[in-house]
Amino acid sequence: MSENILQPELIDLLQRAYSAEKAASFAYQGHAGSLRHKQEKVRIHEIENDEWTHRKEVLDIMNQYGIPVSKWYEVKFYIIGKAIHVSCFIIGRFMPFYFAGSLESGNVCEYFRMKQYFNRKGIHKHDQILYEMGMKEKEHEIYFLNKIKNDPWLPFFEKLFSWGKNKSFNNIDLDKKYPVEESDVYCKK
């Protein structure tokens, strides 16, 4: 199947997500390395593995439509991921958890937007995997938020960056999930 049947926005979203998952994985390697508590290290490594899996799954979708990997995004996100990796050893405990949660919050909608773009073209074969990846990103967001929810810096950062206990970049409630077939209510602009 050819990429020219897909919207340019969807192609770009797939290419960006593919490369950004590598950046996130590199960042989580640094995050885990900067932590003292073994349980936290283990959980961050699990999240890193989820990101590598998402990268593979996005590439599988891209390959079905002949969408090439963006060399620009690969270089850009490689540099970003490695910079974040190093910064985790410098910026303390709160900020890596905060910015990881904020990033994951936005990533949730990337997968639901992909699903919506495919659905507009009448393509539903990727619905389940995109839904699962979006929900997994939401689980990551909640994990990171729970690690800092009582930190005295959170109200200030929430006000400054619009993410925290009272603000999210998506409208998903894991306790009241819609099934895949009804998930178009998520991440509408």
Alpha carbon 144 to its chain centroid, in Å, reads: 12
pLDDT in tens, 84-108: 999 999 999 999 999 999 999 999 9
pLDDT of residue 13: 97
Taking phi over 0 as left and psi of -120 to 50 as alpha, with beta for the rest, 164 belongs to left
Stretch 38-48: mean pLDDT, rounded?
96
Please check the confidence at residue 136 and state whether its pLDDT lies above 60. Answer: yes
Residue 128 CA to residue 175 CA, distance in Å, equals 19
Look up residue 137 and give its two tokens. 């990103």
Distance, C-alpha 36 to centroid of its chain: 24
Convert the pLDDT of each residue in 162-181 to its tens digit: 999 999 999 999 999 999 99
pLDDT score, position 188 = 81
Cβ-contact 134, 186 below 8 angstroms: yes
Show the tokens assigned to 17.
Answer: 């997500």
CATH number at residue 129: 1.20.1260
Contact 22, 69 (CB under 8 A): no
Structurally, how many domains does the chain consist of?
1
Q: What is the mean pLDDT of residues 67-71?
A: 97
Q: Name the pLDDT band for 4 (thresholds 50, 70, 90).
A: low
| Length of the chain measured in residues | 189
Per-residue pLDDT, 3 = 55
Q: Which domain holds residue 56?
A: 3-185
What pLDDT sits at residue 2? 55
